[in-house]
Amino acid sequence: MNVEIIGEWAGKTWTALNEQGTLSMKGLKKATKLKEKELYAAIGWLAREGKLNISEAEEEIMISLI
């Protein structure tokens, strides 16, 4: 795993959120077809860049773009 690959995963994640809006972790995993650890790396990347809004609704994590 290197920075370029994590950047690609972040791009897939950003695209899915941009096209579909707010998604749960399960929905985001399905939309991106990323493995769980890959999705967490992508979310970390985008969160660090200040591009995500992460909230909890009914005990489920919801993610959207800012």
pLDDT for 57 equals 84
pLDDT for 20 equals 97
For residue range 27-59, what is the model confidence (pLDDT) as tens digits? Answer: 999 999 999 999 999 999 999 999 999 999 888
Cβ-proximal residues to 63 (8 Å cutoff; 6+ apart), any chain: 17, 22, 23, 24, 25, 28, 43, 52, 53, 54
Average model confidence (pLDDT) across the chain? 96
pLDDT for 1 equals 74
pLDDT for 21 equals 96
pLDDT for 34 equals 98
- Residue-range domains of the chain with CATH: 3-65 (1.10.10.10)
Check whether 62 has a pLDDT greater than 90. Answer: yes
* Residue whose structure tokens are 């909890």: 56
